[in-house]
Structure formats: C-alpha cells, structure tokens
Amino acid sequence: MSVSQTVNPLLRPSFDKEWKLLLVVASFYKDIADKLVEGAQLELESAGAIHDVLEVPGALEVPTAISIADRCSDFDGYVALGCVIRGETTHYETVCDNSNRAIQLLGLQGLCIGNGILTVENHGQAEVRADPKGHNKGGAAAIAALHLISVAQQLQTKNEEIGFKPTGTVGPLDG
C-alpha cells in the first residue's frame, strides 16, 4: 500500500552565464539510460546550459569517469545517470552502495553532481522513474546539479568579499 507524500521540489534555477555539464551515463540498461538522458537534456536545455554525454559500462564506473573528467576538463557540474536492478546476489548492494558513496565523496570534495542513478527492484520500477512524461529522475538529477552550481556560485561570490587579503607577497625570510 503506498502512502501519499507531499514533496517540495525546487524549480529549475536560472543563470546569467552558460554552464557546461557532463552527463555520465551507465549504459548497462540502455533503454532506461536513454530515457534518463532525455529527461536530463530537456532540463539542461530549458535552463540554457550546454552539455556533453559520456557513456560508461555500469554504475560503478560513473564516479571514476566523473573524477577523470574533473581533472581533465572544464565542466561546471555533472549528472550521474544509470540504473541498478536487484538480481539474485548481493552484487546489487555492492553496486548501489559503492557507486553512491563514491559520488557523495566527490560531492564533498566540491564537485557539483546530481545523482540520477536509479536503484530499483525490477525493470517496471525503472521504467516508471525514467518516464519522460512522468517525473523523470534524469531531469531531477540535472536540476539538482544546476542547484549545486548555483550554490557554489553564490558562496564563491560572497567569499570574495571577506577574509584576509594581503597587499603584497611576504616570503619566509622577509619577515
């Protein structure tokens, strides 16, 4: 039996410059992944952001690809997309826990990541959460990434106005 819940999703933020995001997509369940990408692309295009898409084999590779992209490119944010469907072994827990933990650690290091990796019991649940005409979790993850970019932009602007700002450089022997 499902219980109706009241939620308060934030609206898509607006920006004064064009942001560049990377959609990192685990393509293991390609039919679901494609729908998640579609939802994310619609939200990013509506916000005036540009994006690239990078496919990786599965959810465990998503955080590694984001980390590599952050070191090698100039993206403002990332959207992690994919699907993990419970099987008959404990591999489901391993993939869900480790991919999520790695994405969270990257976020705590300052990367702006919207996590749209579905973790579901069956393919039917995945289809509902990836439905482009419903509440597509790819689109929701894109909005989350945009909000984190907005937060980082707001806090960076505020931090430029506070703190110690030396007028010259003082070396260790200058005194």
Catalytic residues: 91
Choose among 154, 171, 166: nearest CA to 14.
154
Residue 77 and residue 143: Cα distance in Å, rounded?
Answer: 11
Among the residues of the chain, which ranges form H helices? Answer: 30-47, 61-72, 91-108, 123-130, 137-159
Q: 22: part of which helix (H) or strand (E)?
A: strand 20-26
Q: Both tokens of residue 161?
A: 């106005």
Q: Could you count the other beta carbons within 10 Å of the beta carbon of residue 22?
A: 22
Q: Considering just the CA atoms, what is the radius of gyration of the chain in Å? A: 19
Residue pointed to by tokens 């480790």 = 98
Residue pointed to by tokens 């932009």 = 153
Q: What is the largest CA-CA distance in the chain?
A: 72
